[in-house]
Amino acid sequence: MTDWKRTLISPDTTIQKALQIIDESSLQIALVIDGSQRLLGTVTDGDTRRGLLKGIALNQPVSFIMQNQPIIASPIDGPQKILSMMREKTIRQIPVLNENGVVVGLELMDELLRAGERDQWVVLMAGGVGKRLSPITDTLPKPLIQIGKKPILETILENFIDYGFYNFYFAVNYKNQMIKDYFKDGSKWGVRIIYLEEDKMLGTAGALSLLPGRPEKTFLVMNGDLLTKVNFTHLFNFHRESNVIATMCVRGYDFQVPYGVVKIDDRYICSIDEKPIQRFFVNAGIYVLDPSVLDFIPKNQQFDMPQLFDALMRSEKSVAAFPIREYWLDIGRMDDLVRAQVDIMNFTNRKPEGNGHR
């Protein structure tokens, strides 16, 4: 059994410290215990992100966000029973408690299944012109712009490979032959790459209508001009736990009003808020979709992801937001490109909490 004891924390541990424990281990969970090692609750990456969406600060104790009635197992429960519980409750870890409620182990779905590679499809949107990066993009497609020693798209591809993904689709349009000549069929990286060739710009969702078939499993879509260290294992887990048809990654964005904001009731001033900061969540260009979502995408028409999510919500389908707390940079403008060239020095591939390298 995995060294689960490093996941044990007290209820007054900060959320930030719990995140550090979750991120630095491959177990993707922290177990909250009392002084006698009795289980009080559990904390996963998904719990922390839901807390962020509610405005709970990272310096607050984990007791604010922990699951205080987690699913548990007994030492006498066999692997098949535990696996059945995991599938039924859409969870990947179950603490094992003795008759006194003391933690004596932690079962992981990946270990029980002896999971290897991820066979989910990854669709990378690499067809944009990148007008704001002209004159560079006058002769080079944006996905092939070098950040450090590699094209943007190669860094993205290798990050996914580190998580065990190997089925890739590149949606291409502008100067697509250059992209195809560089990546070919993906065999150089030990993966499979199939190209979705757009005769016209189809947008960030419309290109999915070119898929050669319907994926059997949930799949991921990402813009081909993003540098990020988002944990894709956490993302897929969050999507599954949320029981939704689609999940959009979002990023916190702060905007400071440069003036004093005056609140007025009728003609009377109620308050003055000097240069307040407004916080929003913005679309981060990364999505997890169930196969049925493809039914909402028109054929051969420009259709963007916000339109797709609007269509899903109008049809009363549940969709979720996954807040990104990791590194993320959209390389859309020249100053973003300059920043990326600096950031890439620290953007080294670490061994992720995924299922291993292909």
Instruction: Tell me the catalytic residues.
Output: 275
Cβ 198 vs Cβ 171: under 8 Å: yes
Element (DSSP H or E) covering residue 172: strand 165-172
φ/ψ of residue 121, rounded to 5: -75, 145
Residue identified by tokens 């009392």 is 34
Residue identified by tokens 């294992």 is 233
CA distances, 161 to each of 72, 104, 243, 324, 354 (Å): 33, 34, 26, 20, 10
Element (DSSP H or E) covering residue 159: helix 152-162
Burial class (CB in 10 A: 0-12, 13-18, 19+), 216: exposed
Cα 237 to chain centroid distance, Å, stands at: 9
Residue 49 and residue 96: Cα distance in Å, rounded? 25
Residue 342 and residue 226: Cα distance in Å, rounded? 15
SS3 readout for 222-259: EECCEEECCCHHHHHHHHHHHCCCEEEEEEEEEEECCC
Q: Which amino acid makes up residue 331?
A: I
Token pair, residue 2, equals 């995995």
